[in-house]
């Protein structure tokens, strides 16, 4: 909905999702077949895997040996996750009800555009997540036209959602070109694909 001009047709709307918001956007893209394109940056694919990875990293900061941390994960984290999931289901909810793995296969065979941005220096959503997402999207070539952009850098020591900062002009240009191509507009007005010093 355009608050200045009223309703906008769904085929004229694209969605951008950053980090965990990217998972929500991926789910919506699978459910809403008339959305023409999405742009996801630093998006995990599995919330369960994110929780496992975060817990593992936390246990490592405590100085626990790796095998000891694995035992803690097996004994406590995995069962706790499934107890919480069961508890949520009893109340009509679910942590895993909508996931990209479940929703994207229902997309129409219309080769809709998906931009996947991932930073190799991202220690929050690690490269394994981007690889999983690209593999998932790549298994449906009739459904998705995938545009993959891998970067490698940090901003103030962080790699998570950092590409838009350390490659600011390139990011703006690629965003512009992606969306203009999606909506059949001339990309010539986009900024040059170069970074400022």
The full DSSP string for 133-174 is: HHHHHHT-TTTEEEEEEEE---BTTB-TT-HHHHTHHHHHHH
pTM: 0.80
Average pLDDT of span 74-85: 78
Q: Where residue 104 falls among pLDDT bands split at 50, 70, 90?
A: very high
C-alpha 80/C-alpha 75 separation (Å) is 9
The yes-or-no verdict on residue 58 having pLDDT over 50 is: yes
Average pLDDT of span 55-70: 78
The yes-or-no verdict on residue 47 having pLDDT over 80 is: no
Beta bridge partners of 113: 37, 145
Tell me phi and psi for residue 69, to 5 degrees. -60, -40
Helical H runs in 32-65?
47-61
- Those residues with Cβ within 8 angstroms of residue 134's Cβ, 6 or more apart along the chain or in another chain: 116, 146, 148
The yes-or-no verdict on residue 49 having pLDDT over 50 is: yes
């Amino acid at each position: 909905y355009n608050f200045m001009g009223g309703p906008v047709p769904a085929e004229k709307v694209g969605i951008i999702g950053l980090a965990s918001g990217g998972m929500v956007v991926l789910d919506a893209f699978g459910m809403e077949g008339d959305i023409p394109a999405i742009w996801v940056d630093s998006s995990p694919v599995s919330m369960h895997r994110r929780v496992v990875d975060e817990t593992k990293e936390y246990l490592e900061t405590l100085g626990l040996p790796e095998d000891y941390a694995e035992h803690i994960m097996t004994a406590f984290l995995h069962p706790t996750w499934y107890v919480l999931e069961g508890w949520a289901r009893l109340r009509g909810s679910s942590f895993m009800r909508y996931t990209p793995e479940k929703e994207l296969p229902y997309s129409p065979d219309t080769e809709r555009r998906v931009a996947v941005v991932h930073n190799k220096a991202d220690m929050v959503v690690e490269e394994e997540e981007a690889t999983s997402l690209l593999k998932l999207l790549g298994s449906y070539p009739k459904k998705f036209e995938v545009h993959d952009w891998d970067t490698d850098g940090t901003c103030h020591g962080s790699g998570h959602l950092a590409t838009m900062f350390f490659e600011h002009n390139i990011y703006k240009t690629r965003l512009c070109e992606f969306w203009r191509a999606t909506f059949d507009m001339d990309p010539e007005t986009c900024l040059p694909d170069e970074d400022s010093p």
